């Protein structure tokens, strides 16, 4: 959930490091720092509380020409945001940056204190620096000291280490937290996310679980935890500078909401076939016989990915009557005594491909012999490498912390898998034609919704931005959309928002209706229209302040109504969701919040 950068080469490191941290700031923005070494081993370590901009101001006053360094932008775990808790941390001859959590740091700290070490911060990271220093001696090189320390720690880490007396190398290691190494002639770049490497090099090495690397200028040597040398597989990074720029939009979130028609087309490209009314997926690594045998699908994810799974489950169960779908919150499933039925396939859903709880579930499901397929965006991510097959959603970098385009394409990717399973089971093109046709039209319909409702939604946001509480309600496929819509609002506006199945209002939530709340009623023009309308009427009767969103052209009595003009019937919930994304964005904007980097949140959740 934090960002790591590193550089060793022939240029000034400080500027490269700070530039990389700016791109990684969506991963953590409580504090930031960079440490560099000159050729004689003199260390310069500048740290600041707050965002990278504060660090950049300090760098102007402390500019160095050093050509090796490491940097970090922090999402606080151990210790409050402060300069003393900011990375990099230095103990003795060791300076390091670290993502993850060292679970046994207190035990290690007691041992080191007994040896005479003193610690200045509240972090587990400083303890790790002390542990490496305690093992680093005239008879032990830096690699051996790092490996020795890592054999003693319990927990997760992605780290970059420099030693003041060896200013020609950076040691990096990963266990549960991603790291990427970029190579270009006489330079080596290190980052926890590929976005920090774009523009520097497209030749990258994804550090695998349990690997350690000695990075020198233009050269990398890999080892396992036992110091055995490993071969390095360099890949080409498929990303460009344009993808990580705002391109005239005020915020990345607004850009990513507007990108959804194109990113959804990328998800569907080559996978929908209108001539035969079928779908295909090339990366799932399952035969037709194996697909026919599927009886159960378990969808595992956290937050938005979980809600995407919930929405997709409604659709998948429509395709055939012999598949059951259950959707699990990864952070709960990993600690439960759960049972997996025979003929189960698990869909592991994560935008980053690094979500710690989801990765843990993947490991447990594979241990039980369950075939696991990834629904991920980040190529080369941990989940992408560990699953048995899967579907890349191809939405490009999603920079804003609040997910938008990834949600839409995750749903589509899971629906595609459901269609492929249904086809294998003998469900004909005639029965699936409506789903294929609507999926194909969906990007155009999203584009139309954005163009027709954005201005009115922005105006509504001004009217409702002063509220502190909200209730979202929907039925059937609009229930997961209500959950996701409420999540978006609370994430970026800080309004306390709850999503509920509309039929459950009378079982408790309706007690909350008063003048401090506004309500968002999602009303589809389908067989549940009258029942959904009844829920709205019940709220009106109690003085509610209801915003109704509907694709029905029938008059609806509500304080405000957003009408969607669409012919879609099956996948219309994804149009509702786009409206809720826009609403959350403009409410946050009206309240003066940092839309792309909301407080207390980070993009890639690599800790529990």
For CA atoms 6, 606, 266, 348, give the dihedral sign. Answer: positive
* Residue 241 pLDDT grade (very low, low, confident, very high; cuts 50, 70, 90): low
Phi, psi of 536 (to 5 degrees): -60, -45
Other CB atoms within a 10 A radius of the CB of residue 358 amount to 30
Query: Does any domain span residue 546?
Result: yes
The pairing of strands 296-301 and 324-329 is: parallel
Question: DSSP characters for 103-123?
Answer: TTHHHHHHHHHHTT----SS-
Rounded to an integer, what distance in angstroms lies between the CA atom of residue 18 and that of residue 322? 54
User: In the predicted model, is pLDDT for residue 607 greater than 70?
Assistant: no
Region for 242 from its dihedrals, namely left if φ exceeds 0, alpha if ψ lies in -120 to 50, beta otherwise: alpha
Pairing assessment for the beta strands 180-184 and 203-206 based on DSSP bridges: antiparallel
* pLDDT on residue 121: 92
State the Cα–Cα distance between residues 604 and 608, nearest whole angstrom: 11
Contacts of 560 (CB under 8 A, 6+ apart): 460, 463, 546, 547, 548
CB under 8 Å to 389, separation ≥6 — which residues?
283, 284, 285, 286, 371, 373, 374
In DSSP terms, which residues pair with 371 in a beta bridge? 345
Residue 319: how many CB atoms within 10 A of its CB? 19
Residue where one domain finishes, among candidates 373, 400, 427: 427
- Of 369, 393, 427, which residue sits at a domain end? 427
**Distance in angstroms (rounded) separating the CA atoms of residues 333 and 236:** 35
CA 558 to chain centre: 36
Answer yes or no: do 92 and 237 share one domain. Answer: yes
CA–centroid distance for 503 within its chain: 31
Judge whether 603 counts as a catalytic residue: yes
174/278 same-domain check: no
What pLDDT does 242 receive? Answer: 58
**What end-to-end distance do the CA atoms of the chain give, in Å?**
10
Lowest-pLDDT range of 23-37, 281-295, 359-373, 461-475: 23-37
In sequence order, what are the beta bridge partners of 95? 90, 162
Determine, yes or no, domain membership for 517. yes
457-481 pLDDT tens trace: 999 999 999 999 999 999 999 999 9
Average predicted confidence (pLDDT) for the chain: 91
* Alpha helical stretches, state H, 137-284: 142-150, 252-258, 260-268
CATH number at residue 36: 3.60.20.10
In a domain, 231, yes or no: yes
Give Cα 454 distance to the centre of its chain: 26
Contacts of 71 (CB under 8 A, 6+ apart): 4, 5, 6, 17, 18, 20, 21, 32, 33, 34, 35, 88, 97
Q: What percent of the chain has pLDDT over 70?
A: 97
Instruction: With beta carbons less than 8 A apart as the criterion, state whether 365 and 317 touch.
Output: no
Same domain, 223 and 261: no
Question: What residues make up the domain containing 36?
Answer: 3-242
The CB density around residue 541, as the number of other CB atoms within 10 Å, is 10
Residues 511, 388 share a domain:
no
Catalytic residue check, 109: no
Range of weakest confidence among 19-28, 96-105, 249-258, 470-479: 19-28
**Block residue for tokens 């001696």:** 137
Of the listed 2, 215, 302, 372, which one is catalytic?
A: 2
CA neighbours closer than 13 Å in the CB half-sphere of residue 119: 25
Sign of the Cα torsion 582, 588, 592, 593 reads negative
Tell me the DSSP string of 490-502: HHHH--EEEEEEG
- Mean pLDDT confidence for 59-87: 88
Q: Are residues 233 and 104 in the same domain?
A: yes
Q: Is the CB of residue 360 less than 8 Å from the CB of residue 183?
A: no
* pLDDT over 90 at 178, yes or no: no
Please name the residue that has the structure tokens 């940092």: 594
Structure-block tokens of residue 560: 């405000």
Residue with tokens 């048995």: 388
Could you give the CA distance from residue 169 to residue 172 in angstroms, rounded to a whole number? 10
> Which candidate, 297, 277, 276, places its Cα nearest to that of 286?
297
CB of 454 closer than 8 Å to CB of 460:
no
398 with 503, same domain? no
Q: Residues 281-317: pLDDT tens digits? A: 989 999 999 999 999 999 999 999 999 999 999 999 9
Question: What is the rounded distance in angstroms from the CA atom of residue 500 to the CA atom of residue 487?
Answer: 12
Q: Band the pLDDT of 603: cuts 50, 70, 90.
A: low
- Is 432 a domain residue? no
553: domain CATH number is 3.40.50.10490
Q: d(Cα 193, Cα 47) in Å, to the nearest integer?
A: 21
**Portion of the chain with pLDDT greater than 90, in percent:** 70
In terms of domains, do 287 and 415 share one? Answer: yes
The one catalytic residue among 22, 51, 488, 603: 603
Dihedral of CA 141/144/148/150: which sign? Answer: positive
- Of the CA atoms within 13 Å of residue 216, those in its CB half-sphere come to 6
Distance from C-alpha of 278 to C-alpha of 443, rounded to nearest angstrom: 18
Domain count, the chain: 3
Per residue in 121-165, pLDDT (tens digit) is 999 999 999 999 999 988 899 999 999 999 999 888 899 999 999
Task: State residue 221 phi and psi, 5-degree precision.
Answer: -125, 125
In angstroms, what CA-CA distances link 587 with 114, 461, 514? 53, 5, 20
Most confident of 23-32, 131-140, 504-513, 593-602: 131-140
CB 35 within 8 A of CB 47: no
Last-in-domain residue among 242, 267, 302 = 242
In this prediction, residue 398 carries a pLDDT of 85
Judgement on whether residues 398 and 481 belong to the same structural domain of the protein: no
**Could you tell me if 386 and 302 lie in one domain?**
yes
Indicate whether 439 belongs to any domain.
Answer: no
- The DSSP output letter for 504 is G
163 and 291 both lie in a single domain: no
- Residue 524 pLDDT: 94
Taking only the tens place, the pLDDT of each residue in 388-416 is 999 999 888 888 889 999 999 999 999 99
Given this model, what pLDDT does residue 237 score? 81
Other Cβ atoms within 10 Å of 430 Cβ, number? 8
For 553-564, the pLDDT digits (tens) are 898 999 999 999
510 by DSSP, 3-state: which?
helix
Rounded to whole angstroms, the Cα distance separating 572 from 18 reads 43
**Residue at 289 is within a domain:** yes
Q: Which two tokens stand for residue 497?
A: 């928002």
- CB neighbourhood size of 218 (10 A): 14
More confident residue, 440 or 29: 440
Residue at 262 is within a domain: yes
**Does residue 608 lie within any of the structural domains?**
no
Pairwise CA distance, residues 447 & 444, whole Å: 5
- Judge if 281 and 147 occupy the same domain: no
Q: Check whether 113 has a pLDDT greater than 80.
A: yes
| Per-residue confidence (pLDDT) for residue 604, from 0 to 100 | 60
Residue 369 CB contacts under 8 Å (≥ 6 apart), including other chains:
none
DSSP state letter for 400: S
Answer for the pair 168, 151: CB distance below 8 angstroms, yes or no.
no
Same domain, 485 and 545: yes
The answer to whether 476 and 310 have CB atoms below 8 angstroms apart is no
100 Rama class: left (phi>0) / alpha (psi -120 to 50) / beta? left
């Amino acid at each position: 959930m934090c960002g790591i950068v590193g550089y060793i080469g022939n240029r000034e490191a400080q500027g490269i490091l700070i530039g990389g941290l700016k791109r990684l700031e969506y991963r953590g923005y409580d504090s930031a720092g960079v440490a560099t070494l000159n050729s004689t081993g003199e260390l310069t370590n500048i740290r600041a509380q707050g965002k990278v901009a504060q660090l950049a101001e300090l760098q102007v006053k402390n500019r160095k020409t050093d050509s090796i360094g490491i940097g970090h932008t922090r999402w606080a775990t151990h210790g409050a945001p402060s300069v003393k808790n900011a990375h990099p941390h230095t103990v003795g001859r060791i300076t390091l940056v670290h993502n993850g959590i060292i679970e046994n740091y207190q035990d290690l700290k007691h041992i080191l204190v007994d040896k005479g070490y003193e610690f200045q911060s509240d972090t587990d990271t400083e303890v790790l620096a002390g542990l490496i220093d305690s093992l680093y001696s005239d008879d032990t090189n830096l690699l051996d000291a790092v490996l020795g320390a890592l054999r003693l720690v319990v927990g997760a880490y992605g780290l970059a280490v420099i030693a003041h007396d060896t200013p020609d190398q950076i040691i990096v290691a990963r266990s549960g937290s991603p790291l990427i190494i970029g190579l270009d002639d006489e330079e080596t770049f290190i980052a926890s996310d590929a976005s920090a490497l774009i523009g520097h090099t497209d030749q990258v090495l994804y550090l695998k679980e349990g690997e350690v690397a000695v990075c020198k200028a233009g050269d990398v040597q890999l080892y396992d935890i036992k110091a055995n040398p490993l071969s390095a597989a360099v890949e080409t990074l498929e990303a460009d500078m344009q993808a990580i720029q705002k391109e005239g939009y005020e915020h990345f979130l607004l850009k990513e909401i507007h990108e959804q028609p194109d990113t959804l087309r990328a998800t569907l490209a080559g996978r929908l076939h209108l001539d035969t009314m079928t779908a295909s997926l090339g990366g799932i690594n399952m035969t037709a016989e194996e697909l026919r045998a599927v009886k159960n699908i378990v969808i595992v994810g956290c937050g938005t990915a979980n809600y995407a799974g919930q929405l997709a489950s409604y659709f998948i169960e429509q395709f055939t009557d012999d598949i059951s779908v259950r959707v699990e919150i990864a952070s709960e499933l990993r600690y439960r005594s759960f049972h997996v039925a025979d003929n189960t396939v698990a869909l592991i859903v994560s935008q980053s491909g690094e979500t710690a709880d989801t990765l843990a579930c993947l490991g447990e499901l594979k241990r039980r012999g369950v075939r696991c397929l990834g629904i991920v965006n980040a190529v080369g991510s941990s989940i992408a490498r560990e699953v048995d097959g899967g579907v890349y959603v191809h939405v490009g970098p999603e920079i804003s912390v609040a997910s938008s385009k990834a949600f839409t394409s995750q749903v589509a990717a899971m629906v595609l898998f459901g269609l492929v399973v249904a086809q294998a089971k003998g469900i004909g093109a005639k029965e699936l034609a409506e789903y294929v046709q609507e999926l194909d039209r969906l990007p155009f319909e999203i584009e139309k919704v954005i163009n027709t409702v954005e201005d009115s939604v922005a105006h509504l946001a001004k009217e409702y931005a002063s509220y502190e509480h909200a209730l979202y309600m929907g039925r059937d496929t609009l229930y997961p959309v209500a959950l996701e819509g409420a999540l978006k609002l609370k994430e970026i506006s800080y309004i306390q928002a709850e999503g509920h199945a509309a039929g459950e209002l009378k079982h408790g939530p309706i007690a909350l209706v008063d003048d401090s709340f506004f309500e968002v009623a999602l009303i589809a023009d389908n067989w549940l229209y009258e029942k959904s309308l009844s829920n709205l009427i019940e709220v009106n009767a109690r003085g509610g302040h209801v915003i109704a969103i509907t694709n029905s052209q029938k008059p609806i009595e509500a304080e405000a109504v957003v009408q969607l003009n669409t012919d879609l019937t099956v996948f219309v919930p994804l149009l509702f969701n786009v409206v809720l994304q826009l609403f959350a964005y403009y409410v946050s904007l009206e309240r003066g919040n940092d839309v792309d980097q909301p407080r207390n949140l980070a993009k890639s959740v690599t800790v529990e």
